[in-house]
Amino acid sequence: MLIRDARLADGVAIQKLLMEYVSTGIVLSRSLVEIYQAIREFKVAVENNQVVGICSLHIWWEDLAEVRSLVVKPGRERQGIGTDLVTATLEEARTMGLKRIFALTYKPDFFVRLGFSVVDKSELPQKVWGDCVKCPKFPQCDETAVSLLLPGSKP
């Protein structure tokens, strides 16, 4: 399996994989236009020339970014694909000089195993007022916020 930056040719596969989870409420729907506009944010896990996992690093501020759109092809869960994608995403964040990474998730234990800590959503006003207000679950969000201070960063 290969983890790499997404390419424009991956756009349809990324959307298809996201759509497999939209009906369950795990991720929000993203149009193909939105995916192409954000293609540089995505990492993909590729096996046998097929996208089997995706993860996005969305920058909110000079020192703050979000891990989002993390999904793995159904039936491929618990094989390390998600961990590999988040690890590659965090490495990119370090290279960029980001200091804090967060995620909103239904699987906080997964992120805690990767060094994240559970935090209150009120610590993430950029996210809440940038994205969450567009969500049908706002303001009764049932996701858990997690955050990671990258090594060498100060709170």
- What's the pLDDT tens digit per position in 115-135? 999 998 777 765 554 555 455
**Alpha-carbon distance 92 to 98, whole Å?**
9
Contacts of 153 (CB under 8 A, 6+ apart): 63, 99, 100
Q: In this predicted model, what pLDDT tens digit does every residue of 48-86 receive, in sequence order?
A: 999 999 999 999 888 999 999 999 999 998 899 999 999
Architecture of domain 2-149: 3-Layer(aba) Sandwich (3.40)
| DSSP SS3 for 112 | helix
Q: What is the pLDDT of residues 15-38, one digit of tens each?
A: 999 999 988 878 888 899 999 999
The domain locations on the chain are: 2-149
C-alpha–C-alpha distance, residues 100 and 31, integer Å: 28
